[in-house]
Amino acid sequence: MIPCIESGIPGFDDLTKSESGMGGIPENSSTLVYGPPKTGKTIFSNQFAYQGLINDEPCLYIITDQGIKQLEAMMFDFHRPINKFIEDKTLYIIDTTSDISEGKPQQNGNIVYSYINNPTDIMVKVGSGVQCVYSNNPRFRSVLDSSTTLLAYNENMLILRVLKAYLMRISETGGSPIITYTEDSADKKVETMLKTMVDNIVRLDGKELTVEAMKGIGKRSSPYQITDEGLIL
């Protein structure tokens, strides 16, 4: 039996049910969510993060595409308010964008800022972030949304190494990480490498969600919609 955690996406856990697993995302495994732009990758990640939070699984969230305010607003729009989790410190956010656009926001224990063009600094903060969420609960989640921006601002191979280190760090401590990536935003080589680094691969194309790889199950897919409750299969 492969132990799984709830994905938070209605229909996803049913889709991934098998003889050896109860459906969901296999515990302590890493997932790549990719697809063309605007297909719901961020929404998928947010639902995953939120489901963890309401299940008492803390989350380390690294945002590179939007600032913390936008993240909060977006989650709120989908009826998933996160301010409570920021307050009780189960949600740990590394924001790599706000500094650039909004001047100097306030830094507190579980909200830290980094720079998109400084992967070393991001890794240092991931290190302390992991320690913090891990001490809360060794069963935690992590989201990196998205790798595309990191790739755009830095040398590709460097980012692949950073992502590998990130995935190793989360996996070794018992967490389940998700990385998002916009298809064709970098070299095909990068995409292949990303796929080899993760355990599970989920592709969103706007209409269909395809589980291209996952422990214990073969390829599966289902149509999906984005509603005001988020992604629904």
Partner 1 sequence: MIPTIESGIPGFDELTVSEISEGGIPKKSTTLIYGPPKTGKSIFCNQFTYHGLLKQEPCLYLTTDQSLKQLQSNMMEFQWLIMNYIQNQTLYVIDGISQLSGAKLGETNNIKSSSVANSSDMMVKMGIGTRSVYKKSNHFRSVLDSLNTLIAFNPDQMVIRVLKAYLRRIREAGGSGIIAYTEGVADLETENILKSLFDNIIRLDGENIHFEFLSEEDDQLYNFESTYTITDKGLVIGKK
- Residues of this chain that interact with partner 1 (CB under 8 A) are 2, 19-20, 127, 157, 160-161, 164-165, 168-169, 171-173, 188-189, 192-193, 195-197, 201, 212-213, 215-216, 218
| CB-CB contact of 90 with 56 (8 Å) | yes
* Shortest Cβ 100–partner 1 spacing (Å): 28
The one-letter code for the residue type at 43 is I
CB 62 within 8 A of CB 211: no
Return all residues near 1 (Cβ < 8 A) that are at least 6 apart. Answer: 20, 21, 22
196 with 58: CB under 8 angstroms? no
- Least Å distance, CB 48 to partner 1, is 20
Q: How far is the CB of 192 from partner 1 (least distance, A)?
A: 4
Question: From CA 81, how far away is CA 24, in angstroms rounded?
Answer: 23
- In the complex with partner 1, which residue's Cβ is closer, 17 or 195? 195
Q: Which H or E run includes 203?
A: strand 200-204
From the CB of 169, what's the least distance to partner 1, in Å?
5
Cβ proximity to partner 1, 89 vs 215, nearer residue: 215
Identify the three-state secondary structure at position 83: helix
Decide whether 16 or 46 has the Cβ nearer to partner 1: 16
Question: Looking at beta carbons only, is 87 or 187 nearer to partner 1?
Answer: 187
Count CA atoms within 13 Å of residue 177 on its CB side.
30
Q: How near is the Cβ of 216 to partner 1 at its closest, in Å?
A: 7
- Among residues 21 and 40, whose Cβ is nearest to partner 1? 21
